[in-house]
Structures are given as C-alpha cells and as structure tokens.
Structure 1
Amino acid sequence: MVGYYPGWKSDAFPVTAANVDAGRLTMALYAFLGVCWNGKHGNPEPSVNYVAPCQDAAGEAQAANGALVFRDAAKDGANLRALVAMKRRHPQFKVVVSVGGWDWSNQFSNVADSAEARASFVASSVKLMRRFGLDGVDIDWEYPTEAGVPCVAGAVCARPADKRNFIMLARELRAAFDAAGRQDRKHYSITIAAGGNANYVNDGAAGGGWIAELAQSLDWINIMAYDFHMPWEKRSGHHAALFADPADPVTADGLYASASVQRYLRAGVAADKLVMGVPFYGYGWKGCPPGAGGDGQYQDCGGGAGGGVDGGNAYGYGLLRKLGYLTAGHDGGQGFQRHWNGAARAPYLYRAADGVWISYEDPASLKEKARYVKAQGLRGAMFWELSADGGQQMLRALSAAMRK
C-alpha cells in the first residue's frame, strides 16, 4: 500500500493521523523534491513557470549539479520529520522522498547523462536519508526520451540515450544505498513512477529489455495506470479502466490498466516488482450528448467540466460526495445518475440536463483492482494522492480489499 503525500499542500493538508493513516500504508512517497542544475531548480516552461535557487535540507545554497533540493527547506523538513515520527507507532511504515514529477522532470536527462551529476544525485540522496531517517528514494522521471512538459528553447530535457542512462543512475544509486544500508543496518529502497503506455516500456526498436534491466536495481516499479483519457480530449472516456471495453476507441492501443501491467510482465519484469497505480481522483467533461446509451459515454463533448478541485475538472471521490453528486448509498445526486461499465470495471456519472460526464474511482472499482493485483501476484497498489481522499474512505476501501 503505497500513497503519495503532496508536500506543497501541507498548509491545507498537514501531516496528521487524520490525513495520513500510517497503520494502513506501507509507504508514503513525499512529493516532490527537485534536482539542482546550474544553481537552480524547477522548470521555466510557461505551464509550470517555477524556478528558484537550489537549497539543501538546511536551507543553504546548493550548487552541485544533480543534488536533491527542496522547494522550501523549513516546510519540507518539518513535513518529513512529522511523517518519520509516525514510524514510532507503526514500525512497518516507510517514508520515501519522490524526486521530479510532471513539473520537475526537466533536468533528469542532463543529470543521468553526466557521471559527475549522477554522483552528486547519489551522494545527496544518501545524506538526505541519514539526516531525516528516511527509507529510500522514488524517481518520478516523466519521461525518459520523451519529456512530458515541453522543453523551453535552448534547453535539453530528453535524449535518445535517456533509458540507458537511467539504468546507470539506478545502478550507482543501488550500490551506494546497499553500502549505506550495511553501515546503518537497514534497507534503503529505490522505486520509480513509470508510464503505463508502450512508449515508456519500450526503448524504440530495442524493445522492453531496458526496463527489465532497470528493474534489477529497483525494489519495485509503481506503474501510473491512469490518465488514459483526459478532459482536454474531445471524447469522454474512462481515465483508469481496469480492462478493455471494445466500445472505447483507444482499446486497440492497450490504454487500460491491466494492459499496462501485462506490458511490463512481457518485458521480463517479475510480478513482485510491479505495483499497480490507482487514482484517487477523476475527471469531468461538459456538454456531452446522451448518445445511444443515454449515458454520455464515449461522446464528443464540449471540453473539461468546471467545479472540481480548485474550480477545475478534477473530481475525487470525496469531493463528489461533498458536492452531493454521489449519495451515501453511492447513487447519483444533484441530477447525476451513477453508471457502471462492466467491461472496463469502472464507475461514471452523467447528468443529462447539462451533459456533464465524470470518470472517477470508487470503492467498487478499487475492489476490482485489488482483486487483479492479487490474482497477478503483483507487489501491491500505489495511489495518487492522499489529499484527494476525503475522510480516508478510499484508503480504507483499498486497504480492506488488499487484505482479504
């Protein structure tokens, strides 16, 4: 049971037992740390527009290329200490820092391509583990050879050699963590967040051999088996379907969770090194016609629906309950009707009056995914992220399903 904690939300979502259930979590991934390059970290690309001087855990200026750095040393340090303190009552609970993420993956290609920067990444990681009593590092590189956030003019954010360089970075980190672990009498873990599509698993014509080689240095791979449909697409669709629905046009491309898992297995990654990611959030579309089924599914819509998180188009299960779109009995409210796609094993909501269609995850779909994780012999389940789970309803449902 692996869950991300969003450090940048800690003012509104502090590290407390009410927000972080260390008794049900195996590991909290603290998101996100950055990496230093030329004295700065962040991403100048307009959609991110965040660049700041590098600072280490003590708040001191950091200049070494590749070093792990904080957004806010005081706040991030306090959050990490609060998470680590939970281990006293829950010794099985681990605290790991996640580096990169969608916004801050732009320097990974440079770091992995430089022996000196890789050494700095490794050394700063070991230092950070020991300073805070942490248990490992999660590398969230989105994505090797194919940067998710477009690179600004004149910068390099991706190289054809990224996946081979990633293997070298992981090997060097594994060697250092094993050596430090022998001295500290503990195990330091290395995990990654990995894409669910074929472009990630394969290294061009070379195929998926690279990911099996990378896995040798990792404790496990957290597969981001979600975001298969997004609200900037015109057509409504399930963003985290478990199985294929022949009625979905992207089914042929294998854009559903079980297909993502099978790609890794076919590439030679052992099942117990795979953790399947599930989303504690959903997405909404507006202006979706009813279609032949009268439910707005797989229809050409008018864009993303507003009214979600921060007024946007993201809707978590807890928010849907709070808005009254879902009732206590899991039926639709406020004019919505709840539907279940038996092929995809996915719930969805539709309000015919204004054509709002929402793809989301709920306890029923989590049970299906837990059943799949156990049937395939996978390591476990990961979710993004804790603050989207109002009242820990989703975590309790997933935990119960995984334990049965």
Structure 2
Amino acid sequence: MINQSSYRKSFIESSIYTARIYGFDGLDLSVGPSISINLTNLGTLFDEWRVAIASDSKKSGKSQLLLVMSARYSPAQHPVTYPIGIMKRTLDWIHLIAYDYHVPAEFNFTGAHAALYGPSNWANTDEWIMDWLRGGLSASKLVLGLPFHGYAWRLVNPNEKAIGAPSSGPYVTRDGSMGYKSIKSFIKGYGYGAAAVYNSTYVMNLFVFGSAWINFDDVESIKAKISYAKENNLSGYSVFQLSNDDNWILSRAGRLSVKISIFHFILLILMKHWTRDVSIAFE
C-alpha cells in the first residue's frame, strides 16, 4: 500500500472517513517487524496523512484527528532506520508494544516476554527505548505498552527452572498465552502457598510449579514500569488489554502509580470500556 501514491491516497481518505463516521479520536497505524517495508515511503505516508488530517479539520471545523504509530520490537529493524525526522513532526506519539518479545510458540527455551531490563542478548524495553532516544526521537513522543497477559511454557525438565531453561513448547493454551485473570486463577488452583515471585532484574513475575513456567506482569512489575516511564519522561502508558484484568487489580495499580483521581480514572474506563486497550498520559 505505501509504495504507490494512489494506494496511499485511497487509504488515507478511507481512514479519515471511517474515523469521523464512528467518532474516533484518531488513527493508529500498527507497523510490524518486517525488513521488507519501505521506510522511506512510510515517511511519505505520514507526511501525506498529516496534510490530509489538517485539511479535514479545516473543512469540518472539528479538532484534528490524532495520528499515532504502534511499533513492535524487531532486531532486524533498528529504530534509527525509521524516518525519525518525519515521525517527530507528523505523529502525536508512538505506542511501544513492549511485550511478546519471547513467546513459547517461537522459542524452545523459557524467557521474559516483556522484560524491562535484561542482558544485551535478550530483547528488553529499556534498551529499545534508549535506541529510539539515541535515534533522535523525543521521550515525550513515546508511550509505554503494558501487557495484561503472560505466557506459559512446558519445561522439559521440572528441575531446570531458570530463565533460558529448555522448553517443549506452550503450556495450558495452544500458544501459551494467558490473560492476567486466567493466570491468577491458574495459580490459585494449586492451593494454599502457591504464589508467583517478582524478579526485579528483568522486572517480571514468575510462577513455576512442576512442568509449568509462567511469566507475566503482576502489580510489582506494572508499578515499576510506570515509575520507569515517569522517570524517563515518556508521554504515558497504554495497556493491552483491559478485559484481561482481574477485578481491576492491575488497573488500580496503574492509577495509583500516576495519582489519577478516582473520578477521572472511572470516567476513563467508562469512556473506553468497549476498547481493547487504553492510553494514559502523564501530567
């Protein structure tokens, strides 16, 4: 689509039309980890899109639609390869999909799927964010993605439990993915005393019992990541997805971490309850 001007024009016009018809606040383009995408033309798309959004606003008398990009981590696609200059002037912010780095359907050893920190040979959010900043992008353009889900691996040897332990594949579900609520229920099923542990080195929570090895973000991880986002002057954070929460446990942890008033927090949830993810900006 992005390689031909006529396709870009059609896409831009239809996206703006759809956003206006359904009363959306903006548009979010998800850019997957592909080495085949023409990043020069991606910059052209953003330029043309921003011009069209401004024109639409002038004609309709409405506020300009937000223009956002969601980016996934990819070792083959370093942040500096993106058209940073164009992105800085055309995008309102960039959603960092800071999870699903390491999943049981793709690797035969356990790993942290949403590590904030880690060795240089492990995908981790801090290293990725620093790459964006070194590439020239402002921290105020970045929104940190927080996962309300985790992954379950089946250990080859129950006695080998460390990160990087051999795995025979996903556990519990077909691809190993589990929502936070399902993970907490699964742990409770093992009876009194069964509990996950917090790993501050990677900023992750881990439950290991028998052949089950489950990595996810609990309250400690969510709070630590929000603190990190604030300390590094990021624009805010987003969550995926609210329906995975367990009685608002993680959502409350996020609210308390940024000291949002309970009124505005409830209002935000009511406004967004039909969506799969929510973004919160720091004041």
- Contact 2:2–2:45 (8 Å) recurs in 1: yes
- Which of 125, 128, 133 aligns to 1:260? It is 128
Q: Which amino acid aligns with 1:171?
A: D
1:279-318 equivalences under 5 Å are: 279-291=147-159, 295-306=161-172, 308=173, 312-318=175-181
What corresponds to 2:220 in structure 1?
364
SS in 1 for 2:69: strand
What corresponds to 2:62 in structure 1?
185
- Contact 1:316–1:389 (8 Å) recurs in 2: yes
What corresponds to 1:320 in structure 2?
183
- Contact 1:363–1:394 (8 Å) recurs in 2: yes
1:385-404 equivalences under 5 Å are: 385-403=241-259
Change (3 A) 1:348 1:212: farther
- Which of 237, 240, 262 aligns to 1:384? It is 240
1:41-52 equivalences under 5 Å are: none
Task: Provide Cα deviations, 1:174-200, integer angstroms capped at 9, x if missing partner.
Answer: 111122223423131011110223433
Alignment length, in residue pairs?
258
What corresponds to 1:82 in structure 2?
none
Q: How far is 1:361 from its partner? A: 1.0
SS in 2 for 1:302: strand
Task: Provide Cα deviations, 1:84-118, integer angstroms capped at 9, x if missing partner.
Answer: xxxxxxxxxxxxxxxxxxxxxxxxxxx10010011
Could you tell me how far apart the structure 1 residues matched to 2:162 and 2:139 are?
36
Task: Provide Cα deviations, 1:363-383, integer angstroms capped at 9, x if missing partner.
Answer: 110000000000000011122
- Contact 1:290–1:296 (8 Å) recurs in 2: no
Could you tell me how far apart the structure 1 residues matched to 2:115 and 2:82 are?
26
What corresponds to 1:165 in structure 2?
41
- Contact 1:197–1:260 (8 Å) recurs in 2: no
Runs of 4+ more than 4 Å apart: 332-337
SS in 2 for 1:112: coil
Q: How far is 1:398 from its partner? A: 1.6
1:194 counterpart = 2:52: no
Q: How far is 1:275 from its partner? A: 0.6
- Contact 1:212–1:267 (8 Å) recurs in 2: no
Could you tell me how far apart the structure 2 residues matched to 1:212 and 1:339 are?
42
Q: How far is 1:296 from its partner? A: 4.2
RMSD over aligned CA atoms reads 2.2
Q: How far is 1:396 from its partner? A: 2.2
What corresponds to 1:225 in structure 2?
98
Q: Which amino acid aligns with 1:304?
A: P
- Which of 130, 133, 141 aligns to 2:23? It is 133
Q: How far is 1:171 from its partner? A: 0.8
Structure 2: where are the runs of 5+ without partners? 261-283
Q: How far is 1:129 from its partner? A: 2.4
Q: Which amino acid aligns with 1:165?
A: N
Could you tell me how far apart the structure 2 residues matched to 1:253 and 1:341 are?
18
- Contact 2:112–2:204 (8 Å) recurs in 1: yes
Change (3 A) 1:305 1:336: farther
What percentage of aligned pairs have identical amino acids?
26
TM-score (norm 2): 0.83
- Contact 1:166–1:214 (8 Å) recurs in 2: no
TM-score (norm 1): 0.59
What corresponds to 1:210 in structure 2?
83
Change (3 A) 1:401 1:127: same
Q: How far is 1:345 from its partner? A: 1.6
